[in-house]
């Protein structure tokens, strides 16, 4: 199984799970089709997301829409609750008129950090997450209905209360949210990338791995990820570089090589273009923050 593509195992009869992570748990860049909600219950958690690092403080909530790459840095003396659920929960024919992609778009277009939400909406979401956690931990009779009801309540908040942003995010699933076969093909692609990203990779090579023609593979990858293969590979390498820079102090030539860039000049150019600052400034900002 690819380490980059996370496919959760559901402990209940529903495609939902929740658990707690201590702040010392470091999570490298990964990608999954499920919605993920992070609720910080102690301390401050540092999250890498959309080319930036975010400090999420106690009582705050951070949400990843379907298929958005993210990672967690070491955040000592903190604790976070993680809630993951598949949007297939809402595709039971109960509401016939809704478009298949309408709810995913609500999450993709919403403000992902609760500091941007109305205070009353934050309170409702915290109370809902607390109740979800209790239902999952205790599983009292009727917990399936209770969990479904609480997740529907969250969906309503996204339709009615949580403000939207204009930022367009390319790093997300498009079709693969409802296509298990596509996820299996993507899993093969990601495994290949994970083992080869520090070497030159061509679209033809990866197409051959999954048994597609280059033309068909290019269309397949764009359809199911929203990105061209080259865009995705570049973003993957940049995420690897950011993760190295955030966790280790090492020469830029080493970071470039380990992230798959065989020219430091190219690495600097692409990193600054993607992230907005140079790799050195990115590293200094992180270790400067850790020193306070």
Select the more confidently predicted residue: 135 or 68. 135
Sheet of 27-30, strands arranged across: 27-30, 70-72, 44-49, 52-57
Partners of 79 in beta bridges: 22, 42
Decide if 68 contacts 49 (C-beta within 8 A): yes
| CB-count burial class (<10 Å; 0-12, 13-18, 19+) for 234 | middle
Phi and psi (nearest 5°) for 62?
Answer: -135, 130
Percent of the chain with pLDDT over 70: 89
Over residues 266-289, mean pLDDT = 87
pLDDT, mean over the chain = 86
- Virtual CA dihedral for 28, 31, 35, 40, nearest 10 degrees? 10
Task: Summarize pLDDT for 26-39 with one digit per residue, the tens.
Answer: 888 888 888 999 99
pLDDT higher than threshold 80 for residue 195 = yes
What Rg, from alpha-carbon coordinates, does the chain have? 20
pLDDT higher than threshold 90 for residue 272 = yes
Over residues 223-237, mean pLDDT = 86
Give residue 24's pLDDT. Answer: 81
Domains by residue range for the chain, with CATH:
16-160 (2.60.120.280), 179-290 (1.10.10.60)
CA distance readout (Å), 128 to 56, 64, 123, 125, 205? 19, 17, 9, 5, 47
Q: What is the DSSP letter of 7?
A: -
- The structure tokens listed for 229 are 């293969």
Select the more confidently predicted residue: 286 or 261. 261
Over residues 187-214, mean pLDDT = 91
Q: What is the DSSP letter of 79?
A: E
Q: How confident is the model at residue 101 (pLDDT cuts 50, 70, 90)?
A: low
In our burial notation (b when 16+ CB lie closer than 10 A, e otherwise), range 259-276 reads bbbeebeebbebbeeebe
Over residues 111-128, mean pLDDT = 97
């Amino acid at each position: 199984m690819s380490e980059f593509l996370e496919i959760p195992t559901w402990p209940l009869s529903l495609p939902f799970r929740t658990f707690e992570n201590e702040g010392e748990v470091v999570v490298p860049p990964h990608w999954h089709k499920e919605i993920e909600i992070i609720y910080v219950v102690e301390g401050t958690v540092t999250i890498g997301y959309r080319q930036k690092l975010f400090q999420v403080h106690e009582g705050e909530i951070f949400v990843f829409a379907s298929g958005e790459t993210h990672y967690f840095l070491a955040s000592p003396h903190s604790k976070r609750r993680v809630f993951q659920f598949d949007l297939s929960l809402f595709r039971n024919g109960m509401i016939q008129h809704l478009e298949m992609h309408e709810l995913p778009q609500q999450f993709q277009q919403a403000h992902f950090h609760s500091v941007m939400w109305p205070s009353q909406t934050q309170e409702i979401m915290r109370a809902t997450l607390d109740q979800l956690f209790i239902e999952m931990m205790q599983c009292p009779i009727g917990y399936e209905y209770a969990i479904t009801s609480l997740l529907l309540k969250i969906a309503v908040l996204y339709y009615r209360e949580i403000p939207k942003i204009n930022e367009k995010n390319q790093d997300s699933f498009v079709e693969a949210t409802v296509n298990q076969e596509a996820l299996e093909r993507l899993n093969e692609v990601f495994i290949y990338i994970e083992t080869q990203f520090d070497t030159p990779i061509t679209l033809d090579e990866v197409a051959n791995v999954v048994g597609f023609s280059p033309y068909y593979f290019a269309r397949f990858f764009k359809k199911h990820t929203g990105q061209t293969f080259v865009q995705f590979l570049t973003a993957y390498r940049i995420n690897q570089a950011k993760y190295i820079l955030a966790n280790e102090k090492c020469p830029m030539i080493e970071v470039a090589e380990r992230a798959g860039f065989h020219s430091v000049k190219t690495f600097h150019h692409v990193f600054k273009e993607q992230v907005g600052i140079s790799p050195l400034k990115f590293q200094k900002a992180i270790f400067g923050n850790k020193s306070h």
